[in-house]
Amino acid sequence: MWPRSARHGREGLPLNVTHPEAAELAPAADQRDIELAYERGLHEGRDVERRRGRHPVAALLIGLVAVAGAVILGTAAWYGSFGKGGAVVDQKLSVVADRAEPGLRAAAGEAGEVLAGAGASLEAATQPSDSAAPIDEAH
C-alpha cells in the first residue's frame, strides 16, 4: 500500500515511482540504480514521516506553555514591567488557590469516606461464614 501522504500521478502511482513497464525498458545497470534510488527514497520518506509525527500530548503541553508565556508578556506590557506584572499574577494565583482549597479538601474528604466504606463492605463480604467448613492450612 502506498503512503497516504504521497502525491499520485494519472495512473494512480505515486509520482516518485517509475511505471512497471519503464523498468523493463531500462538496461540492467540502470535497473540496479533504479532499485537503489527507490530504496533510498523509501528510507528518506520514512525518516521524514518520523520527524513530522509529533505526540499530541507534547503538542498540547507546548501550546499551553506558549499561551502562558503570551499571558505573562501581555501582563508585563499592560503593567509596564515584569516586576509589576509578576506581582499581579502572583496575587491572582493566590486568590484562586485560596478559593479552591476548601473545595478540594471537601472533595478529598468525601473520596476518603467513600473508599473507607467500600473497603469495609469488601472486608465484610470476604469474611468466612460460620456454615463454611474450616480450611486445613497444613496441607
Q: Do 48 and 60 lie in a common domain?
A: no
Q: What pLDDT is attached to residue 2?
A: 47
Mean pLDDT of 133-138: 59
| Number of domains into which the chain is organized | 2
- Within-domain flag for 10: no
Q: Do 47 and 91 lie in a common domain?
A: no
- Within-domain flag for 131: no
DSSP state of 127: S
Could you write out the DSSP letters of every residue in 106-125?
Answer: HHHHHHHHHHHHHHHHHHHH
**Please, what is the average pLDDT of the chain?**
76
- Residue 36 predicted with pLDDT over 60: yes
Q: Do 86 and 111 lie in a common domain?
A: yes
Interatomic CA distance for residues 117 and 95, integer angstroms: 34
Q: Which residue in the block uniquely carries the three cell numbers 501550546?
A: 63
Q: Do 42 and 92 lie in a common domain?
A: no
Q: Among positive and negative, which fits the CA dihedral 118, 123, 126, 130? A: negative
Amino acid residing at 103 = G
Residue 107's domain spans which residues? 56-120
Q: Do 71 and 110 lie in a common domain?
A: yes
